[in-house]
Structure 1
């Protein structure tokens, strides 16, 4: 990759850029509200490609006081360049707890493969969130505890 990548927390002025990256935010008003909340909570991490927001990830500690990646989204024009793995590795490095979790729908094969490539292992599943599409929970050790 010849482009320069950098990371930083999203600021309120980044809201429209983050919405533009998110494939669900344009038709899901709840996602837009969540994006505002995540930015306000300073839990939304941006991956910048040559200074332009290309992806974002959300890291919280509300899952039994463990790290939890709520969302990882690479903007459509920036996909298939390895940015998801870079962002995931950044979030792992930023995690302040020894355990880090994430989850995705069973049908989301690209995200499941990305999590596995980045050292996450399946840790169970939750039924009945999305009909007929279980939520698969993943785990990996983050920082030394």
Structure 2
């Protein structure tokens, strides 16, 4: 059985392991832990294990901002990122939702577009020669 869950501290190691599998380190452990403690992390669980998670905040001009979406590489292309986004939209504390990804991350750009997000701008100089594209969606 698959389900969306609000992440708890006892999920931390499993979430960090997913993140490590994607980025190659556990450098975001404290970031993930803080998001869980503050109730800003949701995860998708299949019948066996957590397969991905989403972290958000509301510090982007008082709008919701999805700051991280991570899905296990072996579980990609199965709709988990979309499920995470849809679940977050349904609980978003604000009507305006933003997120971003690097210009080089074509797969994530497609996920945003498939979920009704539109391109809203660029931020240069975060990652050298790889601008960040800002995406936006109005939640009803």
TM interval, shorter chain, is: over 0.9
Q: TM-score, normalised by structure 2?
A: 0.93
- Asked whether the equivalents of residues 20 and 75 of structure 1 are also in contact (C-alpha less than 8 Å), the reply is no
Q: Which residue of 2 aligns with 1:90?
A: 87
Q: TM-score, normalised by structure 1?
A: 0.90
5 Å-filtered alignment, 1:1-145, equals 4-22=1-19, 23-24=22-23, 26-29=24-27, 31-142=28-139, 144=140
Q: How many residues align?
A: 138
- Aligned-pair distance for 1:82? 1.3
- Unpaired runs of at least 5, structure 1: none
- Asked whether the equivalents of residues 53 and 71 of structure 2 are also in contact (C-alpha less than 8 Å), the reply is yes
- Asked whether the equivalents of residues 19 and 32 of structure 1 are also in contact (C-alpha less than 8 Å), the reply is yes
- Aligned-pair distance for 1:77? 2.0
Give a deviation string over 1:23-51, Cα, whole Å, max 9, x none. Answer: 22x5252x122111111111010111115
Moved over 4 A (4+): none
